[in-house]
Amino acid sequence: MLDIPAIWMFPALFLLVFLGFPVAFSMIALSFVFGFWFFGDTLGPQMFSQLHAVATNYVLTALPLFVFMGAALERSGIAERLFIAIQLWIGKLRGGLALTSISMCGVFSACSGVVGAVETVVGMMAIPPMVKQKYKHDLISGTICAGGSLGTIIPPTVVVIVYGSIVEQSIGDLFAGVVIPGLIMTVLFLGYIIIRSYLRPDDAPAADTNGEEPVTVGQKLFVTMTAIVPALALVIAVLGSILAGIASPTEAAAVGALGAILLIFAYGQSSVSIFADVITRSIRINAMVMFAVMGGVMFSSIFLVNGGNDLIREFISTVNPSKTQLIVLMLGVIFLLGFILDWVAIVLICMPIFTPLIRAAEIDPIWFGIMVCVVIQTSYLTPPVAPSIYYLRAIAPPEIKLVSMFKGVIPFILCQLFVLLIVAMYPPTALWLPKLIFGN
């Protein structure tokens, strides 16, 4: 077995990643090294065919538009308005700032779809007032990290788009499938914060309203109409058009990008510097994602032709797992890879390998895809490598220590695992809405 080249590809990838090389370039470099082993002088045309398949994949054309939409929304000023509007309604409750942060993350995730951007934007607004109000540092950390992780499961998450392009499933079905699990998870996050805030009042003190003028209902409604309503209208325009079958994901993403531009003008943020920053951010994120896409496609294809298929068949025939054991095994691999690789690399490496197994075992790819999203979201939070914690470290004040961050995410990880259990034990949580809307 050791003479099969594919068996050395993952150890080599992990070595390069641990040495500090970017994941995308590591995958591309190893694809050329091990590809030459198999194809020899004909490697060039083989690689070109893989890149051409990526470049001509219509589903992936939605990615740049969703990324642009997220970057434009960041600079439109809607995030600050959303935070203020939600805080006006629930911010005075015990734990209100944490509840506001989770609610804000849920709404902004539905507008943006970009993992990482949600946590950074909301964290920069929410952390200072929570520190000032003397929230426990672990609650602050867990709230911001968990809220940011919602960008992985609340549509229009780009994780779903990449997954759907690999397994050849309808993006509309997948978006519909993640709606109920995403709502359940958001409710669990909010429920944990409410219960903790009332059982341990010192962890999340109520806001001190002494000396503050009361906000009238009219003022609240005005802020709501100028902040929450435009955000919800954008969500309905993007997701509603997809779920209603009116537009494809790419067309809906274009509508979202246009809506984000209009919000920039509506909120008086239009300037050459703003648009230059939006375009620069979009190009940078898209380049990073597409390099990862190319690397993942090349790496997985070279792995399979270099004996990966034989390794998988031999393993399956030796272990002979049941359907449940196979699902647990595949999700376990995805979870462990989440400690080392980013979500793009995980989906693009694993799914070309797992898809034949899913079809052979007659596992519903929509149901499995929703579980993949939850597992990736969980690995995004889980120490010691948790990317969410490193996003947080970049924006958190120095008094919030790494120990508090690790401690703070644990209750939210348990909530995520509970959602995974619900979806696994009761598949209609993922399949009922796609069937209701699309009749599949």
238 token code pair: 């993007």
In this prediction, residue 417 carries a pLDDT of 94
Q: Which of 14-23, 164-173, 308-317 has the lowest mean pLDDT?
A: 308-317
Is-contact 263 234, C-beta < 8 A? yes
So what's the pLDDT on residue 375?
92
**pLDDT reading at 215 higher than 80:** no
Nearest to 439 by CA among 163, 172, 161, 155: 172
- Is residue 382 a contact partner of residue 389, using CB atoms and an 8 Å limit? no
The answer to whether residue 238 scores a pLDDT higher than 60 is: yes
Of 116, 31, 170, 130, give the one whose Cα is nearest residue 377. Answer: 116
The confidence score (pLDDT) of residue 380 equals 81
The pLDDT of residue 210 is 56
Return the pLDDT at 201: 86
The mean-pLDDT minimum among 40-54, 61-75, 321-335 falls in 40-54
Q: How far is 203 from 240, CA to CA, in rounded Å?
A: 39
Instruction: Name residue, tokens 């950074």.
Output: 120
Look at residue 169 and give its three-state secondary structure: coil
Does pLDDT of 252 surpass 80? yes
d(CA 88, CA 80): 12
pLDDT beyond 80 at 219: no
How far is C-alpha 382 from the geometric centre of its chain's CA atoms? 14
Q: What is the mean pLDDT of residues 191-202?
A: 90
Residue 214: band (very low, low, confident or very high) from pLDDT cuts 50, 70, 90? low
pTM for the model stands at 0.84
List Cβ neighbours of 19 (8 Å cut-off, separation of 6 or more): none
Q: What is the mean pLDDT of residues 316-326?
A: 83
pLDDT of residue 43: 74
- Percentage of the chain lying above the pLDDT 70 cut: 95
- Measured in degrees and rounded to the nearest 5, phi and psi for residue 281 equal -60, -45
At residue 147 the predicted structure's pLDDT band, cuts being 50, 70 and 90, is: confident
For residue 1, pLDDT beyond 70: no
- Which pLDDT score is estimated for 428? 93
pLDDT at 208 over 70: no
Q: Is it the case that residue 425 has pLDDT exceeding 90? A: yes
What is the reported pLDDT for 113? 60
Express each pLDDT in 152-169 by its tens digit. Answer: 888 878 788 888 888 888
Report the Cα–Cα distance between both ends of the chain, in Å, rounded.
42
379-402 exposure pattern, b = at least 16 Cβ within 10 A, e = fewer: bbbbeeebbbbebbeebbeeebee
d(CA 365, CA 357): 11
pLDDT at residue number 213: 61
Q: Which of 90-104, 124-138, 321-335, 415-429 has the highest mean pLDDT?
A: 415-429
| Residue 100, number of CB atoms within 10 A of its CB | 28
Whether the per-residue pLDDT at 305 is higher than 60: the answer is yes
Domain ranges for the chain: 23-438
Mean pLDDT of the chain: 82
pLDDT-derived band at 306, boundaries 50, 70, 90? confident
How far apart are alpha carbons 176 and 15 in whole angstroms? 38
Better pLDDT: 173 or 87: 173
Confidence of residue 9 (pLDDT cuts 50, 70, 90): confident
Average pLDDT for 403-428:
92
